[in-house]
Amino acid sequence: MTTTRLAACLLVAFAPAAFAASGDASVGKKKSTPCAACHGAEGVSPSPEFPNLAGQYADYLETAMRHYKNGKRKNPIMAEQVKGLSEKDIVDLAAYFAGQRGLRTWY
């Protein structure tokens, strides 16, 4: 494999990751108003049945929203909420909630 082809492969391999990481948290904050009703103003849910989002991994949140949107994950409330979200909205929202302090990995 030539160096150029290797470089091209690497670029293709990492492009999705780079794209996924392009969420803008400050834009996400502005889009997060409807989320706050259930998930709390700062991603800490006031209700036991709704998950905390604060501090969750951005790529997990993105995957969850995409799955709600494409029907892989079924929840009537979330399906309705994500219906109108663009891919940019999804990464912005994920960046906003991931940047908050809250959830953590427990050892």
Partner 1 sequence: MHPLRFLVALALAAAGASAHAAGDAAAGKNKVYQCQGCHGIVDWKTAFPEVYRVPKLGGQKAEYIVAALKAYKKGERDFATMRAITADLTDQDMADIGAYYATHGTTTTTAEKKK
Q: Closer to partner 1 at the Cβ: 28 or 97?
A: 97
- Decide whether 27 or 38 has the Cβ nearer to partner 1: 38
Please tell me the distance from the alpha carbon of residue 14 to that of residue 66, in angstroms, as a whole number. 20
* Minimum CB distance to partner 1, residue 44 (Å): 6
| Number of other residues whose CB lies within 10 A of the CB of residue 32 | 20
Cβ at position 4, least distance to partner 1 in Å? 26
Binding site for partner 1 (CB under 8 A): 42, 44-45, 47-52, 54-57, 59-60, 62-63, 72-74, 100-107
Nearest to 42 by CA among 54, 24, 27: 54
> HSE-up of 94 (CA within 13 Å, CB side)?
23
